[in-house]
Amino acid sequence: MLFSARQKAIADALAEAPVAVQPGRSPWADARTRFLRNRAAVASLAILALIVLVCVAGPALLPYDFDTADWDAMKLPPSWKGMHWWGTDESGRDLLVRCLIGGRISLMVGLLATLASVAIGIAWGATAGFLGGRVDSIMMRIVDMMYAIPYLLIAILLVTILGREFYLVVLAITAFSWMDMARVVRGQTLSLRTMEFVEAARAIGVPTRRIIFAHIVPNLLGVVVIYTTVTVPGVILTESVLSFLGLGIQEPMTSWGVLIEDGTKVMDVAPWMLLFPAALLSVTLYCFNFIGDGLRDALDPKER
């Protein structure tokens, strides 16, 4: 999967040492202080928040619809004199509005597919790690077999068979994006299941399901938060690749991948059609990566 090597590197950097914080301060308050000291992460968070806000509210403030063609304004270059600040595409549609609508779709795909993959990965990994033995072996062998399947090829196959509707694209991406989370959660669970609070819960007869989801999973929150921030850009990039290949979001709806694919066709005569959506996609991916690095450093016990 895209970004899996980066995700595994971040997971390896998360030590299992006990938390040491200043007296009178919670571990989360201590982590927040360290995160705020990371200028790159804070700046990335501010930029990402601005991108999300503009994508959500921006189209309503502009006088154009994202799917309304204006044949008298085809391929207009960016101009501050008119309302087409980012120019128009080959059908005369305002590029700024389409980039913002495309941002909505790309970010929604990234968020929904990530949340679904995180939920599946946590449930799978925590169950396998806590039960151990033959159950763990069987569950992780299934994960290993799925790793052997070319991820992007299967995503393309699923989209081709199921269709290219928004929710089907999310489903196709989710189908294989949960495995990294499952492996990381399973590894952390193996170390947590021998802790005293888990043994105490077992001794008083707490059901296995409650131990997993009420005692194990809450203690994995730091790892889950970090992995979520590095999974979102991988999912967004996967959606962009599918859309670029013509197998993702379809017209008249758009996404950054669709806009980039359109821009490559006319980059010689209308380079702004490629420049603006590509820049938005790149900045968003970099922001998520810097935020993930900041969270990793803030939650890493070695830094405490």
Q: Where in the sequence is the domain holding 184, given as residue range(s)?
A: 46-59+79-303
Cα distances (Å, whole numbers) of residue 48 to 54, 55, 114, 290: 10, 11, 17, 11
**Nearest by Cα to 95 from 132, 134, 120, 68:** 68
pLDDT at residue 7 in the model: 55
- Residue 122 in domain: yes
Q: Report how far Cα 9 is from the mean position of its chain's Cα atoms.
A: 17
Domain of 100, CATH number, reads: 1.10.3720.10
CA angle 299, 188, 214 (to 5 degrees): 90
pLDDT digits (tens, 9 = 90+) for 16-34: 434 343 444 566 677 778 8
- What pLDDT, on the 0 to 100 scale, is given for residue 10? 52
Nearest Cα to Cα of residue 278 among 304, 251, 255: 255
Residue 271 lies in a domain: yes
Q: What is the C-alpha to C-alpha distance for residues 159 and 131, in angstroms, rounded to an integer?
A: 35
What is the distance of C-alpha 227 from the center of its chain?
9
pLDDT score at 6:
55
Residue type, 2: L
The answer to whether residue 74 sits within a structural domain is no
Please report whether residue 5 resides in a domain.
no
Q: What pLDDT does 15 receive? A: 36
> Which pLDDT value is given to residue 82?
64
- Answer yes or no: is 40 within a domain: no
Q: What is the pLDDT of residue 277?
A: 92
* Closest C-alpha among 120, 139, 118, 141 to residue 130: 139
Would you tell me the crossing angle of helices 151-162 and 166-177 to the nearest 10 degrees?
A: 150
DSSP-derived letter for residue 167 is H
* Residue 66 domain flag: no
Q: For 248-296, what is each residue's pLDDT tens digit? A: 777 778 888 888 988 888 888 888 889 999 999 999 999 998 998 888 8
35 lies in a domain? no
Query: Does a structural domain hold residue 70?
Result: no
Domains contained in the chain, number? 1
* Ranges of the chain with pLDDT below 50: 1-3, 14-24
pLDDT at 14: 45
Start-end of H helices in the chain: 4-13, 27-37, 39-61, 95-131, 133-147, 151-162, 166-177, 179-192, 196-203, 208-210, 221-244, 256-265, 272-299
Q: What is the pTM of this model?
A: 0.80
